[in-house]
Chain A
Amino acid sequence: MNQSYPPPTSPTIPKPILQVEGLVIHYETPRGAVQAVSDVSFSVQPRERFGLVGESGCGKSTLVTAFLRMTKPPGVIKAGRILLNGVDILALPKNEMRRVRWSQVALIPQGAMNSLNPVMRVRDQIADALVAHGVILNQAALTARIEELLARVELPARVARLYPHELSGGMKQRVCIAMATALEPKLIIADEPTSALDVVTQRAVMEMLANVQEMVGAALILIGHDMGLMAQVVDRLGVMYAGELVEVGDVTSMFKSPQHPYTRALLGSLPSPRERKVRRAIGGLPPALIAPPPGCRFHPRCPEAIVACREVAPRRLETTGGWATCHLLDPTQASQPLEAADAAPSA
């Protein structure tokens, strides 16, 4: 493609590629609103790899669907702004948004390999997607472009002539990566791209995705629940719990000294391939988001909860590598443990 990109405006002050401010997303149900995403704010820099972890149902997928403005009823974006390269995509007209998708921001959905059309050859699917986004090439150039895209994910050219069922899971996933990066987007969102793959294939796919991301010069948002994978891939990490972002920081300090008790619990529950140890599963279940608990949403499961956790929603507090929302980090909170408070009710 012959587009040329303007050079970055100013290398000294990086402008975030994605900026999310106070985003609130609800699912309207007859029984009330499910608060899937509550007041989430964060930003991703160009070329950065940002990880988003959390248990199933914590709102990760709802959150990223909004980045493409593909939130569908009963999901409703209640408040907040999503700035993609400085442009508020929530305010864009529909047809303009269609252009932004794929060319600016691409999504590799969960189970992407099942999103390939089973009755079309790989070549035709890639061509379809290119044509739909206004890339006009003659047959020879199109073939060359498709081969180039496949080569980028280290697939041999013969794959273009195959049907999806003739490919392994890892190969299908790599075809999806080739398609998602075909228009050189500025931001790639990968929603659990390897959750159905075995470790070797997972590694092949992740390394491939990271390579292509670097080649294209895009930023990457990786969603998952595997802290191990995050440690291997991302630069910065955000931890989500019950619709809220509870800790954000650079990956090294987050693994070395996690500040939020939920982050600590997530790390503690990991089975290690190095040593057999006592595993600590997180007690209890995530709350139903139709009526989240008051105060800190994690307090019913938190082993370190203090009285304030039950009553006051914690504010953001700066940590070494970023920020966390926990009363334990707040010097202004008197730290009376919950058990002690329950044992001696206000006398």
Chain B
Amino acid sequence: MQPPLLEVKNVSKVYGSGVLGKQQTVALDNFSLAIAEGTPIITTIAGESGSGKTTLANLVLGLLVPTSGEIRYRGQNIHSLSRSAWFTYRREVQAIFQNPFEVYNPFYRVDHVFHFALRKFSLAPNRREGLALIHEALEVVGLRPDEILGRYPHELSGGQRQRLMIARAFMLKPRLIVADEPVSMIDASLQARILDIFERLNQDFGISFLYITHDLSTAYQISHDIHILYLGQVMERGDITAVMHHPNHPYTQLLVESIPVADPEVRWSGGRARNAAARDNHASQARNSNGAPNNRCRYFP
């Protein structure tokens, strides 16, 4: 059988802090996930701040080394890849980050991010073909090259900058894009366009996504399955439609109920409302206290 494109196998990540790393925080606890080769899907990792979703993104991108467990790409542990295989991995797994304002060097024109990638991965034999690749990528994300190229980052809107980042990732012909909160800093009116691009890349170009977010409504619009994290543990996983319509775990229920619905007549349901603040206190306390793994559900009480 073909090994999965990406397999996260029983991965835990523990951060140490304080004297000799004695204070330990378990950011991710025994997490597993697989994205099959051949059927491109959009997998959502949802959870609140501190749930370990960004840790997971950084682990998959190879920016962090897991404390235990392993991450396999096409059957091989990404931390024991040969030089050339690692190079391929770096090209085939691309990242899109939350803040489209911080990822650009303000001294360079935006073209720089494309030319740098072209050079680094020797994608085009000459400048003309390189330019053709850039134009193609810009068109896929719905940007007009003559309006964008040659500009400085501050001259573009947040939505345009984020689409440029998607274009850059697309140009490298990736197999997997790790998108860490890609729309949370974009105006609600422009989020829809970013989501459409993701869907198109997924359906037309066969790119799988690891979509990391706290916003279940955008996740619901584009993704196929979902993993819900809370303080590093998986609370619920499954098909997105099933999870959204029939959440089984109380935490998922709270997440779904907390989405502000655009209808003044459907107000936040009152039941769990009072607990929201108390739970926030509890979660931050749980994070600050010695987070040694224990056996009970971390959502308790």
Contacts and interface: CB of A to CB of B under 8 A. Distances in A.
B218 A229 contact: no
A255 B157 contact: no
Nearest to B275: A204
B149 interface: no
A273 B192 contact: no
B134 interface: no
A171 interface: yes
A94 to B, nearest CB: 33
Contact of A168 (B221, B262, B284): B284
B187 to A, nearest CB: 5
Contact of B221 (A229, A255, A267, A279): A279
B17 to A, nearest CB: 12
In this complex, the member of B260, B266, B279 whose beta carbon has the largest number of chain A beta carbons within 10 angstroms is B260
B118 interface: no
Counting chain B residues whose Cβ lies within 8 A of the other chain, the interface size class is: 35 or more
Given A273-B217, A273-B220, A265 B280 contact: no
B214 A255 contact: no
For the residues of B in contact with A, the DSSP-based class is helix
B21 interface: no
Interface in B132-188: 157-158, 160, 185, 187-188
A46 B189 CA distance: 31
Interface in B189-225: 189-193, 195-196, 214-218, 220-221
A199 B277 contact: no
Interface in B85-128: none
A199 B258 contact: yes
Nearest to B199: A279
Interface residues of A, number: 50
Interface string A150-186: 0001111000000000111111001000000000000
B287 interface: yes
A199 B261 contact: no
Interface in A227-255: 227-229, 231-232, 251-252, 255
A232 B185 CA distance: 20
Given A55-B187, A199-B258, A252-B265, A154 B278 contact: yes
Interface in B236-257: 244, 254-256
Contacts of A103: none
Contact of A207 (B218, B265, B268, B287): B268
A197 interface: yes
B290 interface: no
B48 interface: yes
Given A270-B188, A272-B217, A281-B196, A202 B277 contact: no
A269 B260 CA distance: 15
B285 to A, nearest CB: 9
Interface in A202-225: 202-204, 207-208, 225
B288 interface: yes
Given A56-B157, A199-B258, A276-B220, A170 B189 contact: no
A166 B157 contact: no
Given A56-B187, A266-B188, A266-B189, A199 B216 contact: yes
Contacts of B273: 203, 207
18 contacts: A55-B189, A56-B187, A167-B284, A170-B280, A198-B214, A198-B215, A201-B49, A202-B258, A203-B260, A232-B261, A267-B262, A269-B189, A270-B217, A271-B220, A272-B220, A273-B220, A281-B196, A285-B160
Given A169-B49, A198-B48, A198-B214, 11 more contacts: A197-B49, A200-B279, A201-B48, A228-B217, A266-B188, A267-B262, A269-B192, A279-B195, A279-B196, A280-B192, A281-B190
> Can you list the 5 inter-chain pairs with the closest CB atoms, starting with the nearest?
A198-B214, A204-B276, A228-B260, A279-B192, A168-B284
Interface of B: 47-50, 157-158, 160, 185, 187-193, 195-196, 214-218, 220-221, 244, 254-256, 258-268, 273, 276-281, 283-284, 287-288
Interface of A: 55-57, 153-156, 166-171, 174, 195, 197-204, 207-208, 225-229, 231-232, 251-252, 255, 265-267, 269-274, 276, 279-282, 285
